[in-house]
Structure 1
Amino acid sequence: MKLNAIQTALLLSLVPTTTTFAAALDRSGQSIAAFLQPNNYFEAGITILDPNVSGKDISQNNTGNMANHYYSPNAALKIQATDKFSIGLIYDQPYGADAEYTGHSNFIESRPVPFKGGTSVTVDTENLNLLFGYQPNQNWNLYAGAVYQTLDSTVLLRGQSYSAYNGYDFKTGRDEAVGWLAGIAYQVPEIALKASLTYRAKIKHEMNAYEKHGAAGMTPSPDINAGFTQINNSEGQTEITTPQSINLDFQTGIMENTIAFANLRWVNWKDFAIRPYKFGKGSVLSDIVKNTGKKDGFDLVAYTEDQYSITAGVGRKINDQWAGNLSVGWDSGAGNPVTTLGPTEGYWNVGVGVQYSPTPSTFIAGGVKYFWLGDAKAQSGSQFNTPGYVAEFENNDAIAYGLKIGYKF
């Protein structure tokens, strides 16, 4: 059973193993499978996610669907420079969020004030990975590389769920930072066995973000009003560090023209937190501390657990032109209760993919996955690490669609 006879089946992993609702901000799954393809290889694809996430606030108001649909492009180029050295470029959008509350709930400010509107969040990241591989023989591949990452995010807090932080604005603008990755892969082409282990380091961003406490002068507390006004006129740096992660990928032939495959992923969300400069300064004002009991303040976004996810399935080559696969996936989430800006706890999913190869060197593939999103209680920042919550989200789902083209040369 030769790898060349069935390798096309593995290319059917079209829809990312994780999404923005998987755990925290995880979106692409950060696969390097394209870099481990034989010879020279190029691919480009797009994934579209259509989620439905709704619930009820503690006043039993319906939130409506707060999750926006989004698309995520990706591309990769791998060149086998010599028998022992390879180089590659991979572009993806590893982390993100896109949500907005509408309608009538505790996440909406409907009074005629300057910050009227709904709570919303957008987080966009882009990674350009430059990889170098060394193959001492036909079985082993040692690789490492640099990661150039951009981050752009906006958070608007609105409604009584956020108390004095109703009207808070946070905008980072586009920030750039650099990180690294390293890994090892092993293959036995005769039995279509391939395994890889990839570590990605955390990437630290520092910026002078735009922040404003919109409720300054409008709260019942003179202490908070004066404090917010003073803080609004101050400046300081905000730090956002995207998390470290580990991916383990495995495939093996199980019969002629058929492979089994699995992807396991760990992301260190437990150590991730966002505490913008002015947000943090406001959280230690005396009257806010009296209400929250947190003398050291609190974060805008934080998670209590790491993410663990797995996708497993089988792929089969039907003939020289057609192949297909089936998969099932599970994600742990990053703790529950969770932030109001992404109120789900992991998922289960099932997926199907099909690939058509008009020539031996080209293919076009498509796939779809259905997600059962985990129920969650949603917290404001001041409630983190307590049992308190401001809303519950249940019985939600999502559908993801993927399309990919590839060229082997």
Structure 2
Amino acid sequence: MLLFVPITYIKLQQGMFPMKLTALRSAILLSLIPTTSVIAGGLDRSGQSMSAFFQSGNYAEAGFTVIDPTVEGTSTVVKDEKISDMGGDYYFPSAAIKIQPTDNISLGLLYDQPFGADATYSSTAGTFGNGTEGTSVEVDTHNLTALIGYQPNQNWNFYAGPVYQTVEGKVSLRGAAYGGTRLLGGYDIDLKEDDAFGWIAGAAYSIPEIALRAAITYRSEIKHELDTSETFALGAVVRPNSNTEVVTPQSVNIDLQSGVAKDTLAFANIRWVHWDQFAVKPTYLAAATQAARGKAQNLIDYSDDQWSITTGLSHKFNDKWAGSASVGYDSGAGNPVTTLGPVEGNWSIGLGAQYSPAQSYFIAAGVRYLWLGDADAQTGGNVVGSFEDNSALAYGMKIGYRF
């Protein structure tokens, strides 16, 4: 999902700025392109934008994002082994609709894929491959957020609602990093799809005359119990099905914007995600590692919370065209990291453009380049790879319509 906040018509009082802003299409073409486990902290993917719900009147949008990471490294298990690109390209859509049935009540429905992972190591025999297969991970989530907002006046907006979420995943561990086929080198796990509910609540304060808005949004954690199938030694040892608890983390988004000059907005998005309590601990994986190593091992866990910020400027060039530029930082979720996402945060720059053929609809596009943070990948408490000087390219499009 490209986090564009589309252009809307907002009248600004004369004399509000030195350049006498008389009309500004309140635009944040946030070219903030969300991140995933091989790019940002934890498994964060969409960034969970609220921008569509803040639009005036009735509004709908749909978009997609493509992320193309390059994540390479060096083995610390097999001497002189270079680890080829393990970051899989992926695509994910987003959509939203917001309705204003009265002056004081708004309704919204948001769809996104907030968390996920998609990565595959080379099958070459070595640290993460056995000659025929490579270590791989695929995690998918889907969120449907229903919102009701109350606006007692033109300045305040209070909103809340339920969140429906599904989670599923598959992981295969191969190679010397996991002890070969003697321990986890032939391990497969299938986490069947589970659905559960959480909630969202927030508030926004606006001063329409200067296109100012400050919003804070809280999303609860959501607890899942996934039916799980685990196999060891490339299927030679099959365990009975069990349940695995996965709790997707709580988060807080802070969105800020304000007009700063004629036809120009400054914006910032700050996001916190509570990853340091996150862990996936399958029953038989924990038992096998406890017996072999004297300590139960998690499939995935993180040591720190994630903090990210994106800030920049957007400018309206004329009635049809606007653009934005932004810079971003993501702290990651600790280092060393899991072998299934060997990156510690990122720095990024982004550019966005929006074309409005008519006042009722627009087309927006953006691109973002990310310098991925260096990280050491570990399993079972042992560092098995070093990943440095990696990058990613993200791009996407969105269509918005007012009715």
TM-score under structure 2 length normalisation: 0.91
SS state at 1:279 partner: helix
1:133-158 C-alpha deviation (Å, 9 max, x unpaired): 00111100000011111112000000
Q: 56, 59, 78: which is aligned to 1:38?
A: 56
**2:369 equivalent in structure 1:** 370
Residue 139 of structure 2 is aligned to residue 123 of structure 1: yes
Task: Please give the alpha-carbon distance, in whole angstroms, between the structure 2 residues aligned to 1:211 and 1:67.
Answer: 24
**1:398 equivalent in structure 2:** 392
How well do the aligned residues superpose, as a CA RMSD in angstroms?
1.5
Residue 354 of structure 2 is aligned to residue 355 of structure 1: yes
1:203-236 C-alpha deviation (Å, 9 max, x unpaired): 111022111122687xxxxxxxxxxx5xx44443
| Alignment check: 8 A CA contact 1:6 1:316 kept | no
- When residues 37 and 266 of structure 1 are mapped into structure 2, their CA distance, relative to the original with a 3 A threshold, is same
**1:48 equivalent in structure 2:** 66
**1:144 equivalent in structure 2:** 160
Following TM superposition, by how much is the alpha carbon of 1:288 offset from its aligned partner in structure 2, in angstroms?
A: 2.6
| Alignment check: 8 A CA contact 2:31 2:351 kept | no
SS state at 2:284 partner: helix
Following TM superposition, by how much is the alpha carbon of 1:394 offset from its aligned partner in structure 2, in angstroms?
A: 0.5
SS state at 1:271 partner: coil
**2:130 equivalent in structure 1:** 109
- Aligned partner letter, 1:140: W
Name structure 1 gaps, 5 residues minimum. 111-115, 218-228
Following TM superposition, by how much is the alpha carbon of 1:14 offset from its aligned partner in structure 2, in angstroms?
A: 4.3
**1:222 equivalent in structure 2:** none
Q: Which has more strand, going by share of residues?
A: 2
- Aligned partner letter, 2:304: E
Task: Please give the alpha-carbon distance, in whole angstroms, between the structure 1 residues aligned to 2:123 and 2:190.
Answer: 24
| Alignment check: 8 A CA contact 1:41 1:407 kept | yes
TM-score under structure 1 length normalisation: 0.90
Task: Please give the alpha-carbon distance, in whole angstroms, between the structure 2 residues aligned to 1:77 and 1:67.
Answer: 33
Q: 26, 33, 42: which is aligned to 1:16?
A: 33
Q: 283, 293, 297: which is aligned to 1:288?
A: 293
- When residues 6 and 22 of structure 1 are mapped into structure 2, their CA distance, relative to the original with a 3 A threshold, is farther
Residue 105 of structure 2 is aligned to residue 85 of structure 1: yes
Following TM superposition, by how much is the alpha carbon of 1:8 offset from its aligned partner in structure 2, in angstroms?
A: 5.0
Task: Please give the alpha-carbon distance, in whole angstroms, between the structure 2 residues aligned to 1:237 and 1:190.
Answer: 54
Percent identity (aligned): 52
1:144-177 C-alpha deviation (Å, 9 max, x unpaired): 0111111120000001101111111111122111
SS state at 2:171 partner: strand
1:89-113 C-alpha deviation (Å, 9 max, x unpaired): 0000000110000153310012xxx
1:50-75 C-alpha deviation (Å, 9 max, x unpaired): 11001011123111100110011001
Q: 71, 74, 81: which is aligned to 1:61?
A: 81
Q: How does 1:147-162 map to 2 (within 5 A)?
A: 147-162=163-178
SS state at 1:333 partner: coil
**1:113 equivalent in structure 2:** none
SS state at 2:192 partner: coil
**1:261 equivalent in structure 2:** 267
| Alignment check: 8 A CA contact 2:31 2:324 kept | no
Name structure 2 gaps, 5 residues minimum. 1-9, 13-21
1:301-357 C-alpha deviation (Å, 9 max, x unpaired): 111100000000000011110000000000000001100000000000000011100
| Alignment check: 8 A CA contact 1:14 1:402 kept | no
- When residues 106 and 191 of structure 1 are mapped into structure 2, their CA distance, relative to the original with a 3 A threshold, is same
Task: Please give the alpha-carbon distance, in whole angstroms, between the structure 2 residues aligned to 1:341 and 1:268.
Answer: 19
Moved over 6 A (4+): none
Task: Please give the alpha-carbon distance, in whole angstroms, between the structure 1 residues aligned to 2:264 and 2:235.
Answer: 64
- When residues 131 and 117 of structure 1 are mapped into structure 2, their CA distance, relative to the original with a 3 A threshold, is same
Q: Which has more helix, going by share of residues?
A: 1
| Alignment check: 8 A CA contact 2:188 2:232 kept | yes
Following TM superposition, by how much is the alpha carbon of 1:406 offset from its aligned partner in structure 2, in angstroms?
A: 0.5
SS state at 1:67 partner: coil
- When residues 87 and 123 of structure 1 are mapped into structure 2, their CA distance, relative to the original with a 3 A threshold, is same
Task: Please give the alpha-carbon distance, in whole angstroms, between the structure 2 residues aligned to 1:309 and 1:94.
Answer: 15
| Alignment check: 8 A CA contact 1:251 1:260 kept | yes
Deviates more, 1:1-10 or 1:260-269: 1-10
| Alignment check: 8 A CA contact 1:93 1:126 kept | yes
Task: Please give the alpha-carbon distance, in whole angstroms, between the structure 1 residues aligned to 2:169 and 2:113.
Answer: 13
1:24-73 C-alpha deviation (Å, 9 max, x unpaired): 11000001110011111111111110110010111231111001100110
**1:343 equivalent in structure 2:** 342
Task: Please give the alpha-carbon distance, in whole angstroms, between the structure 2 residues aligned to 1:19 and 1:284.
Answer: 30
**1:226 equivalent in structure 2:** none
The count of aligned residue pairs is: 378
